[in-house]
Amino acid sequence: MSNKVIFLDRDGTLNVDHGYVNEADQWQWCDGAIDACKLLQNARYTLAIVTNQSGIAQGKYTVEQMHKLHEYMLAEFEAHGVHIAMVAYCPHDRGQSDCDCRKPKIGMAKQIEAKIGEIDYVNSWIVGDKEADLLFGKNAGTHTAIIRSQYWEEGKLSQKPDLIVDSLKQAAEKIV
Residue 102 binds to Zn ion (criterion: CB under 5 A)? yes
152: helix, coil or strand?
Answer: coil
Q: What are phi and psi of 68, to 5 degrees?
A: -65, -40
Among 125, 129, 144, 168, binds Mg ion (CB under 5 A): 129
C-beta closer to Mg ion: residue 113 or 129:
129
Task: Report the chain's C-alpha Rg in angstroms.
Answer: 15
C-beta closer to Mg ion: residue 1 or 19:
19
Q: What are phi and psi of 32, to 5 degrees?
A: 75, 5
57-96 residues in contact with Zn ion (CB under 5 A) are 90, 92
Residue 103 binds to Zn ion (criterion: CB under 5 A)? no
Residue type, 121: Y
Residues 6+ apart with CB under 8 A from 167: 30, 31, 32, 33, 36, 147
100 is catalytic: no
- Which does residue 90 touch among Mg ion, Zn ion, none (CB within 5 to 8 A, set by kind)? Zn ion
CB 31 within 8 A of CB 167: yes
Q: Which residues are catalytic?
A: 9, 11
* Residue ranges in contact with Mg ion by CB under 5 A: 9, 11-12, 129
* Residue ranges in contact with Zn ion by CB under 5 A: 90, 92, 99, 101-102
